[in-house]
């Protein structure tokens, strides 16, 4: 009789990476948990981490998982990935990181220069959303990188959330879900 299919759930949070294994009835079969360094800071208010560090720690969590169960990797029928929100990674055309990831709790802000133009700008004004939209523009990490590290932004081919980066490392494809 073939071994039961299992689902591997990867949860990369702010303080740890967990690799959880479930059977098709939702029962927990095994768990590996790897504590991580949440971030480093090159400037006050910044929060960054090296993208490869996340990948390495995911591997450690999986090693802990496989050492804690009799299940085997060939039983995995599917993988799901969930991660900390709002952590972004710039990759070049070859899929290589261009800079440290900006972590969700980073406090840097982009400059907002003028209102949104065209029909959207008019709509935001009529709906009294200009301040809200400007706040989003200010907090968008892509805007900060484009303004402050234009050489990095010019080389960026893929701008991914952490979940998209881990999916890329797992599959070699640029796919993510929300």
Tell whether domain 6-171 is in CATH 3.30.420.40.
Answer: yes
Q: What is the pLDDT of residues 74-93, one digit of tens each?
A: 999 999 999 998 999 999 99
pTM of model > 0.85: yes
Q: What is the pLDDT of residues 91-149, one digit of tens each?
A: 999 999 999 999 999 999 999 988 899 999 999 999 999 999 988 898 999 999 999 99
CA distance 176 to 178: 7
Q: Where are the domains of the chain?
A: 6-171
Please check the confidence at residue 164 and state whether its pLDDT lies above 90.
yes
């Amino acid at each position: 009789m073939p071994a039961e299919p299992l689902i591997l759930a990867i949860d990369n949070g702010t303080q740890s990476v967990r690799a959880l294994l479930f059977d098709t009835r939702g029962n927990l079969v095994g768990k590996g948990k790897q504590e991580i360094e949440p971030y480093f800071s090159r400037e006050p208010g910044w929060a960054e981490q090296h993208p490869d560090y996340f990948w390495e720690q995911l591997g450690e969590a999986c090693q802990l998982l496989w050492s804690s169960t009799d299940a085997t990797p060939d039983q995995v029928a599917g993988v799901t990935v969930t991660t900390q929100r709002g952590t972004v990674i710039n990759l070049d055309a070859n899929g290589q990181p261009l800079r440290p990831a900006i972590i969700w709790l980073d406090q840097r802000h982009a400059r907002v220069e003028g209102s949104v133009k065209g029909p959207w700008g008019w709509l935001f004004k009529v709906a009294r959303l200009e301040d809200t939209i400007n706040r989003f523009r200010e907090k968008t990490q892509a805007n900060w990188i484009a303004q402050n590290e234009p050489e990095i932004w010019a080389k960026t081919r893929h701008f991914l959330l952490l979940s998209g980066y881990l999916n890329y490392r797992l599959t070699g494809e640029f796919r993510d879900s929300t």
